[in-house]
Amino acid sequence: MIVADQVADVRRAIRDARYRNLPIGCVPTMGALHAGHASLIEAARCECRFVVVTIFVNPTQFGPQEDFTRYPRPLENDLALCRQAGVDLVFVPSLESLYPTDFGTFVEIEPLSRVLEGAFRPGHFRGVATIVLKLLNIVQPDVAYFGRKDFQQQLVVRKMCREFDLPVEIRTCPTVREPDGLALSSRNRFLEGADRQNALVLSQALFLAERRLKAGEHDVRAVCAQMTQHMESAGAAVDYAAVADPETLIELAAPIPDMIALVAAHVGPTRLIDNLPIALEHRP
């Protein structure tokens, strides 16, 4: 496994892989890898003979009050996981190599980046889209892999790649959950004491919405209110609980055949997000 911290070294390795006609897969991450990331790497290995993982905690996607400095950076563990998973190249760039001092070029994605997560984290998706574009331009993969856990992120990335005509395919892989339902997240390691148990209210709220909607509930706003209520009952501070169109993220008032339920809440000091696709069966 190659570990590179320079753009030029990545380009050289990629040129070599291209020369050997190896399909290239890329899994962009912020490190602190867990079984969710491992499932992305596995998906990449199934399709691509050369698998790149990028590890970079991207400052431009964090707000000034957010957890950039305390975001976990367990690099040795991450490299061990990558090695075990059969990754070919890990790119661990320095901050300076990706963001020189006078950096000022950003991707803006309207209106998708303004709603839900974007409304609570202004500038977040601008930062996400910008770093993903940079990494895709450096690695130039045939396929890039993202988790459905960050549902809005993969929508933003898909829209960017489509509208900027990037020659890459985006795959979205299912959320990996703990046995009790908690969606895997690098931030779960911040959940201390009762917070770990209380964090279950996010996935519980989503499963509750799924049950209600599949049982024929027509008042989507009432379902969202129930999700909020459930999360607040355990002391979570809710940012949003929504049921939306999975393409546009426009919030729904009435059910449609394919929906996505999304929640964000603070559990103790830790902000968590989760989502669940909800498909109604056709009832003739």
Q: What is the DSSP letter of 25?
A: E
Q: Which two tokens stand for residue 2?
A: 């190659």
Q: How far is the CB of 56 from a second copy (least distance, A)?
A: 13
**Stretch touching a second copy by CB under 8 A, among 69-77, 81-89, 105-113, 171-179:** 105-113
Can 37 be counted among the known catalytic residues? yes
What is the C-alpha separation between 277 and 284, in angstroms, rounded?
22
| Binder among 134, 148, 212, 271 for a second copy (CB under 8 A) | 134
> Does residue 144 sit in helix, strand or coil?
strand
106 near a second copy (CB under 8 A): yes
Closest CA to 213 of 204, 200, 222: 222
Q: Which of 63, 86, 111, 122 binds a second copy (CB under 8 A)?
A: 111
Q: Which stretch binds a second copy (CB under 8 A): 45-53, 59-67, 110-118, 229-237?
A: 110-118
List 166, 200, 279, 280, residue binding a second copy (CB under 8 A): 166
Pick from 2, 7, 200, 256 the residue near a second copy by CB under 8 A: 7
What phi-psi label fits residue 176: left (phi over 0), alpha (psi between -120 and 50 degrees) or beta? beta
Task: Tell me the per-residue interface mask from 136 to 165 with a second copy, x by CB under 8 A, - otherwise.
Answer: -xx-x------------------xx--xxx
Our finding on whether 109 is near a second copy (CB under 8 A) is yes
Answer for the pair 275, 262: CB distance below 8 angstroms, yes or no.
yes
166 is written with which tokens?
Answer: 């990037």
Query: Which residue number, 11 or 196, has a Cβ lying nearer to a second copy?
Result: 11
Shortest CB 58 distance to a second copy, Å: 14
Count CA within 13 A, CB hemisphere, residue 83.
9
Q: Which helix (H) or strand (E) holds 265?
A: strand 258-267
Cα 220 from Cα 201, distance rounded (Å)? 19
At its nearest, how many Å lie between a second copy and the CB of residue 105? 4
**Chain centroid to CA 62: how far?**
14
| CA distances for 196 relative to 14, 119, 233, 269, angstroms | 41, 26, 15, 12
Choose between 137 and 233: whose C-beta lies nearer to a second copy.
Answer: 137
Question: Which residues are catalytically annotated?
Answer: 37
Which residues of the shown chain bind a second copy in the complex (CB under 8 A)? 7, 11, 98, 100, 103-112, 129-130, 133-134, 137-138, 140, 159-160, 163-167
